[in-house]
Amino acid sequence: MVLGSGSAGNCTLVEGRRGRLLIDCGLSAREAARRLELVGCDPRSIGALLVSHEHADHVGGAAQFSRRFGAPIHTTSATARASGLEEVDGPGLVHNEPGQPFLVGDLEVSPFSVPHDAVDNVGFVIACEGSRLGYATDLGHATHLVAQRLRGCDVLVAEANHDAGMLRDGPYPWAVKQRILGRHGHLSNEETAGLVAQAAGDRTRHLFLAHLSTTNNTPSLAREACRVALEAAGRCGVAIHLTQQRQVSDVVQS
């Protein structure tokens, strides 16, 4: 379940039978807790907080959430330094590098490298009782590694940040446009569509589109691009869920 996604804050809840974790906490600790309680989840039950990279919309509330609710923070050593998390008092900071799986209860977490303008950005594959969730947001292009790690997951969470035409014709300064369009920026709808069509397998049932720009994209454009690509790849059974900044997403089980 995506608790919120966008440039103002990202946070995703993943649950197993014996473990709960958050991927990123760019929302304030108070807002993340409020949304957890809204869906019946006690914030004190979170067993780990994974931080993908140091940008504020992914890490802004992490330290406070960790201190308040006792959830250790898991991230790479480079991200810990870049985000200032190494200097924060709390229940624990655990360094987990790409390619090194670890457990949170019955959830097996496997970080993998993702190209973005951050020091050591990662995505995650989270496995539990034979089901797999693949998570990759904030990436400028889909590498072979990203496609391989996401391939065949039951649930995919991928960014569909912008429509390329809307971005080019939109109000952002050219320097910002070039950053977003660059190979370490963000994926367009068409790029995301190509990635998910390549990654989706026979078991893939759900796709969450995350990190949609409110200025340079629309939900209908993002959904349609992915629908067309999935159907062309013979993956008509994948349900597409749109995430939002101010409210929680659909809940799915796999």
What tens digit of pLDDT does each residue of 178-188 get?
A: 999 999 999 99
H or E element: which one contains 93? strand 93-95
Using an 8 Å Cβ cutoff, are 223 and 242 in contact? yes
pLDDT in tens, 90-144: 778 999 999 999 999 999 999 999 999 999 999 999 999 999 999 999 999 999 9
Kindly provide the residue ranges of all beta strands, DSSP E only, lying in 107-235, ordered along the sequence: 107-113, 122-128, 131-136, 155-159, 206-210
- Would you state the torsion angle of the CA atoms of residues 124, 130, 131, 137, taken in this order, to the nearest 10 degrees? 10
Say what the pLDDT of residue 86 is.
87
Q: Identity (one letter) of the amino acid at 27?
A: L
Q: How far is residue 87's CA from residue 206's CA, in Å, rounded to a whole number?
A: 38
Distance CA 71, CA 92 (A): 8
Q: Does domain 1-96 have CATH number 3.40.50.2300?
A: no
Distance of CA 212 to CAs 8, 89, 102, 134, 220, Å?
Answer: 11, 33, 30, 18, 11
Average pLDDT of the residues in 193-199: 97
Q: Which CATH number fits domain 130-243: 3.40.50.11810, 3.40.50.1860, 3.60.15.10, 3.40.50.300?
A: 3.60.15.10
| pLDDT over 90 at 254, yes or no | no
pTM of the model: 0.95
Contact 212, 246 (CB under 8 A): no
Positions of CATH 3.60.15.10 in the chain: 1-96, 130-243
